[in-house]
Homo-oligomer: A and B are copies of this chain.
Amino acid sequence: MTNPVIKALGRKLRLGVIGGGPSSFIGIVHRGASTLEEYYEVSAGVLSSNPEKSVEHAREMGIERGYATAQDMILAEANRDDGVDVIAIMTPNNSHYSIACMAADHGFHIMCEKPLTNDLDEAMALVYKIQASSVECCVAYAYSGYPMVREARAIIEAGELGEVRMVQCDYVQGHLAELTDSEKTNTNWHMDPAMAGPSLILGDIGTHCYHLASFVTGMVPAELSADLASIVPGREADDYTGILTRYKNNARGSFFITQAAAGADHGLYLRVFGSKGGLEWHQEQPNQLLVRRIGQPTQLLQKGGPGLHEAANRVSRIAVGHPEGYREAFANLYTDLAEVIIAQKTGVKENPLARYFPDIQDGAQGVAFVRAAINSHQKNGEWVSLASNA
C-alpha cells in the first residue's frame, strides 16, 4: 500500500503536541498513534506547563523543536515554512478552549482531547470559529476509531437492523474505587472541578459513552433523566452516573457509568437493538462484534474477517486474528484526519468514510450532554431536553 500522505504532499504531515509530557498516560498514545501508519512525524512540542521543563522534556523525548509555551509554539510554527500542519491538544480540560482558538486562528488543524471544553458557551464558540474556517478539528473520542465500532455504525447506517429502538452503553471502571493518594493531596487535575469541569464522571468517561452511542446509532437523545453520585465516602467529585434516555423516534436507552466499581478494569460496552436485530460490542474484546438478526443465527464478526463493510476494513490494517488494540484505534483518528487534510490540500475529493472521525460538533454535543445530565440531576431526575442545553 502506497503511503497516501507522502504521495500527495511529498512528505509526512508534521504534528505539534501540546501536553503529554513524560509522566502522562496519553502523551505517548497520541504520538505513537500519529506515527504508527507513517502519515505523521512529531516535529514540535510543549511538554510541560513549566516553560523550562517543557523545552527540556522535548529534547529528552527526541522532539526536534521544543517550546516553552503553547503560545510560543503556535506563533513560531506559523512563521516557519516547515511548520507543523496539525496541533494536538492534551492539556487539562479548562485550557482546551484558548489553545484551540489560537491554533485555529493561525490555521492549524487540530486534534483535541475530550471533553472539548468544560463550558458549553466555549464549546459553541469553537464550533462557530472552526466551521467558519478551513481548519479541520478532530476530538479524540478514541473508541470510535475501532474497526468494529465503525462496522457497527455501518450496519446501522445501512438499515440492516431497521429502526433503532434501544441503546445501552455502560462504562464501568475501577481505578477510583478507593480514595486515591493524588485525590487526598489534591495533585490530580482530573479531580479538580476548576480544571476538569463540573462533573468528573461525565467529563472523563461519560462523554465517551455519549459519543459512542451517538456515533453508532446516528441518533442523539431528545431528553434524559440523570442521577449523579459520589459513591466512595470522602470523595467530593461524582464517580457514578445512571442515565435514562428517550429519543425522538420513541427509542429508549440507558447509561451506567462509574470509575468506582471495585475490581473492574475498563468495562466500556455498547448494545443497540433495532426493529430487525441488534448488536453488541465490548471494548475489552474490541476485534469482535456480535450481530443478531431476528430469525437468524447470531453472527460473531471479526476485524479483518468476512462480511464486513468498507467502513471497517478501511481502518483495519493487519490480517484477521491479529489483534488490534487501543493504540490502533487512536491511530485511525489520526489517519482519518490526515486524509481530509490531504484532500483539502490537494483539492481531491474526500473519502466520506474519513469523515467518521469525531468532529467539532461531536465535541460540543458531548459538552451539551454533560450540562443536560447535571441539570437533570440537580432537578432530582427530571427529564431534561438536550436541545435546550445546546
Please list the residues of chain A having a beta carbon within 8 angstroms of any beta carbon in chain B: 1-3, 6-7, 11-12, 22-23, 25, 28-29, 31-32, 35-38, 60-62, 161-162, 165-166, 168, 170, 172-175, 177-178, 225, 227, 229, 231-232, 240, 242, 244, 246, 250-254, 256, 258, 260-267, 271, 273-278, 283-287, 290-302, 304-307, 317-328, 380-383
Contact = CB atoms under 8 A, between A and B. Distances in A.
A231 B165 contact: yes
A324 B300 CA distance: 21
A300 B302 CA distance: 12
B326 A324 contact: yes
Contact of A2 (B60, B173, B323): B60
A273 B176 CA distance: 12
Contact of A322 (B11, B252, B325, B382): B325
A284 B252 contact: no
Contact of A284 (B261, B321, B380): B321
Given A229-B250, A263-B291, A323-B323, 6 more contacts: A32-B37, A175-B319, A231-B252, A264-B278, A325-B325, A325-B327
A117 B340 CA distance: 44
Given A28-B38, A37-B28, A318-B25, A242 B231 contact: no
Contacts of A318: 25, 29, 326-327
Nearest to A146: B323
A161 B327 contact: no
Summarize A's interface: helix, strand, loop or mixed: loop
Contacts of A283: 321, 323
Nearest to A265: B321
Number of copies: 4
B300 A299 contact: yes
A2 B22 CA distance: 6
Contacts of A262: 161-162, 165, 273-278, 292-294
A260 B283 CA distance: 25
Contact of A297 (B227, B305, B319): B305
Give the one of A250, A297, A300 with max B CB within 10 A: A297
A74 B37 CA distance: 26
Q: Which 3 A-B pairs have the closest CB atoms?
A: A266-B321, A263-B292, A265-B321
A246 B298 CA distance: 33
Nearest to A225: B381
Nearest to A168: B256
Contacts of A265: 302, 304-305, 320-321
